[in-house]
Amino acid sequence: MQKQYDAALEEFRRAEQTDEDSADAHRGAGRVLLAKKDFRNALLELKRAEDLKPSDWTTHDYYAQALQATGDLDSAIGEFKQSLSLDPKQLQVQLELAAALEKKGDWAAAFDQYRRAALADASIHFRNKIVRAEDRDPQREYKAAQDRLNGHIASLKASGKASEAAVLEKRVRDMQAAPNLSEKLDVAMQAGAKAVSERRWDEAQRYYKEAVRLGEQLQPHDPRLVTALDHLGNQYVGVDFAAADAAYGRELKVIEELYGPQSAMMAQAFESLGTSALMQHDYDSAHKFYSRGVEVNQKTFGETSKQVADSLTILTRVYLMQKAYDKAEPYLLRAVKIDESLFGREAVVLLMPLGTLCSLYDNWEKPDRSEPCDRQLLTILEKQFGENSPQLVSTLASEAKALRSLGRTEEAAQVEKRLESIQAAMIKPN
């Protein structure tokens, strides 16, 4: 790792020599020095980058981290706030700010930032959420902050500082007392997400309905209205299809209003409408909507993109429900081919299209196609879950069935023996 840091730093130093006013080069060097824990020099590089490009939120964030590492907590808090003001959607920066405020002892302000991050996180559509391995979960951070705050207040009371505890409790209450329209929307979104996680469907529907009402009032509209409409439609599907379709149809219009008629986000609304139609056995409408989703992804990302592969797999639901396997097969073969070309034959992303294709062949009673498909799927499953994982059971059963149909009884017996071993381990008491 140290060698990688040194090589990266050397690269940024060369860039600085080429252009000493390159904000990107100074920021890059500062970031590497920050990772190397050379905070003094990191501060110099990042301050230079900030002077050259004060509008870059990432530079302020890294500069804040370096300041905090050197013990200058007040300056770090100021930089975190500056970073957040430049891009309020950066929830990880908001969590960093919250942690710095808590470290300073400003419990009420810290808790408010944790709360705001959790509310904003609940308003992000899951299809648009990008989570890195190192990212902290705003919901968990908020819950942990609640526990620490309650513990701190209890500690104050136990040590005879009841008046100090009362002041802190009042500050926290006051910060939550008068939320504006935007915050009310965030609260409704979080409440809806919580209700869904606890399977309280009627409450979830009510909260998302309120979120849509608030989102419609906000002018101009923002992406949270799209998310609220999608979630509301999901709550209506299977219960009130007309209401679901109305929510998804409105979602389409808001996406077009916010992003234009060629936006990639149109695909998600078309797919939602397609699923609603499919559940009503309106196969023609379902095919039309799913096909529109494929078209949007093709225009936006290209014919050989992962997005197109995913939307092709989704489209085959129309044919699979009708057992029209011959019509579904070409779409799945194309989806598998796209993913293989992008990620390789053993990539985990193949589980969905390849698994669907293998299941199709099994139900279609095509053992000559099912067997090689199952074999490839098993390789991916073994790589992902292990050779003796229960995740392999259904595919092993399908493989054994295909081998027997092909007259390859010895191979089938070996697969069945392996299948029985895994099943025995599954029911064996610990």
Closest by CA position to 122, among listed 201, 213, 189: 189
Q: What is the pLDDT of residues 266-324, one digit of tens each?
A: 998 999 999 999 999 999 999 999 999 999 999 888 999 999 999 999 999 999 999 99
pLDDT higher than threshold 70 for residue 125:
no
Q: Record the tokens describing residue 423, joined without a space.
A: 């099943």
Angstrom CA distances, 25 to 17, 22, 56, 59, 93, stand at 9, 5, 13, 11, 22
pLDDT for the residue 179: 66
Closest by CA position to 252, among listed 238, 280, 235, 233: 233
pLDDT for the residue 150: 94
* Pair 309, 339: CB distance under 8 Å: yes
Query: What's the start-to-end Cα distance of the chain, in Å?
Result: 41
Q: What is the pLDDT of residues 292-307, one digit of tens each?
A: 999 999 988 899 999 9
Pick the more confident residue, 353 or 135.
353
Angstrom CA distances, 191 to 173, 194, 199, 204, stand at 18, 5, 12, 7
Phi-psi domain of 37 (left: phi exceeds 0; alpha: psi -120 through 50; beta: other): left
Q: What is the pLDDT of residues 75-96, one digit of tens each?
A: 899 889 888 877 878 999 999 9
* Pair 284, 321: CB distance under 8 Å: no
pLDDT for the residue 223: 79
Q: What is the pLDDT of residues 136-165, one digit of tens each?
A: 999 999 999 999 999 999 999 999 999 999
Reported confidence tier of residue 105, pLDDT bands at 50, 70, 90: very high
Taking the C-alpha atoms of residue 300 and residue 295, their distance in angstroms, rounded to an integer, is: 9
For 1-87, which CATH class? Answer: mainly alpha
3-state secondary structure of 419: helix
Domain map of the chain by residue range? 1-87, 102-178
pLDDT higher than threshold 60 for residue 430:
no
Closest by CA position to 298, among listed 338, 344, 347: 338
pLDDT higher than threshold 70 for residue 363:
yes
Percentage of residues in the chain with pLDDT exceeding 70?
Answer: 96
Pick the more confident residue, 3 or 352.
352
pLDDT higher than threshold 90 for residue 428:
no
* Pair 343, 373: CB distance under 8 Å: no
State yes or no: cis peptide before 220, omega within 30 of 0.
Answer: yes
Instruction: Supply the pTM of this predicted model.
Output: 0.66
